[in-house]
Chain A
């Protein structure tokens, strides 16, 4: 596969993920029904609990909690396994594997001339379990919350309003520029016969990047003028229309209990 096809495939995957998360955030499930502020703080606290935990059963418990929450939120566990667990496992296992042999400690098994140590095996397992639990919980947040709600909820973490405005605009233009870059590469690909040399491929990629940057700057000017035309005078107002309901307080208590149990048992 040439670099253009690889890049186009990457763009398609990114756009696909955007659509999937927007779609799953609109499902009528458990996490989708919660106030985004409760969900943001609760799931982030659980991710931090996974990072703090030093015992495998606690990490397994947090992963299991993630699976239960995914099922209750009508998310496809198969899709979660394919897109999140397998990817995280492959990446982390590759990094953790040499630790089996490189970590000094008591030898538990000999593989050829290499000795697997108990400390190495424990360290590798801890790393994989922690990463799986943390990635699952943070993915739940993204898959069950519309992006604008997630951004507004960031105000509860005292993120400045300017940063939220910047994040909102950045996200919007990430999608637009990804589509633009995708169209540029596809149009180039459709006019290509044969193969390009490495030098020509580099030139093509860099020039496309340059054109994309020119388009970005032009778009920046247009957006600025459009903002001014709409009466934008430098103040950002977010409509904070979130309302806590009884169910949100129940969920908040549930998150708090899970965090306390996780922190105490994970020490």
Chain B
């Protein structure tokens, strides 16, 4: 997944450096206050540790071996900001010193593995372990899923970066100038290895190291994670309330979202004109595709188009739909937690 020099166009590399730079800046700012205390050696050593564990050959079921990045455990122990710095440092050393991954593509590699990977791992770990006891098995599963999800998100991002190259950069005869495969080839090719071998290696390493740390260094994964969990809900509730209040902004957008057309949109001239305008002026068919027409009425939504029929104000209807949706998700999560929690606690 370490993209070497030459696979991505310079403009893609520049965009990926530009996308990574603010994250590095914020991460440095957030850790700067502590950086020259205990954090300086801790970050450096964790980066070095990640680098060394990337060289471990992990035997996997089926007789093959894989390598882990270590982003899952880094995000759980250090938090996402320090983790993105530590993994970026490891990737920079690999690129600059060992030629593993390019220098022009370092921004893309850091974005995929260090930044997106750290936040994905941290988010998954927190979500899955939410409300669980420090000793519950759910946390080990959460660590495994964090590693697995993070490496697969990183692989997906790398595949997208590869896959857009032939669309954007080709010569007059159509020959791709950089990575030659379109998204339809790049994504399956990249994900096949990561959903199986690399994902399994990361999951095994994250879960194994998490279990080890919980046994031997509990403060690193137990107490700090607990503190996170206690602090997080208040902030999350606040953010959720703000987002709910802002939902009516959605009705400011005009036209239908691309690919979300109804069967009736194909029947009207104005509907076809909207579809064509959103599709690079490619003419829309005069009738809805057969499959779409057949399946369109399979399910009738109780709140179609986020506009309950009993509410007259569109903005209020939109907000009410958002609240209903959020409430439904919370109820499902609450029920799932009620179902999982006793099982985890009874085993302790």
Contact = CB atoms under 8 A, between A and B. Distances in A.
Q: Say if A and B assemble together.
A: yes
Interface residues of A, number: 90
B324 interface: no
Residue of B7, B49, B85, B213 with highest tally of chain A CB at under 10 A: B49
Contacts of B97: 18, 21, 142, 147, 171
Interface in A8-59: 10-11, 14, 17-18, 21, 44, 47-48, 50-52, 54
A202 B85 CA distance: 28
- Closest CB pairs A-B (n = 6): A206-B208, A210-B212, A134-B5, A234-B36, A169-B44, A173-B48
Contacts of B6: 50-51, 92, 127, 130-131, 133-135
B291 interface: no
A254 interface: no
Q: Mostly helix, strand, loop or mixed at chain A's interface? A: helix
A236 B41 CA distance: 13
A239 B243 CA distance: 50
Interface stretch (A70-78, A101-109, A186-194, A245-253): A101-109
Interface in B1-59: 4-10, 13, 28, 32, 35-38, 40-49, 51-53, 55-59
B173 A202 contact: no
A138 B102 contact: yes
B61 interface: yes
B57 A234 contact: no
A3 interface: yes
Contacts of A241: none
Residue of A21, A105, A134, A205 with highest tally of chain B CB at under 10 A: A205
A263 B99 CA distance: 24
A88 interface: yes
Contacts of B180: 96, 99, 102-103, 120, 123-124, 127
A216 B45 contact: yes
Contact of B65 (A3, A50, A124, A174): A3
A133 B4 CA distance: 12
A174 B32 contact: no
Given A14-B55, A127-B178, A234-B36, A166 B85 contact: yes
Given A131-B5, A209-B208, A213-B209, A105 B173 contact: yes
B306 interface: no
B176 A99 contact: yes
A221 interface: yes
Given A142-B97, A170-B93, A219-B45, A205 B104 contact: no
A23 B209 CA distance: 36
Given A166-B44, A207-B212, A209-B208, A123 B13 contact: no
A165 B40 contact: yes
A160 B28 contact: yes
Contacts of B92: 167
B119 to A, nearest CB: 20
A84 interface: yes
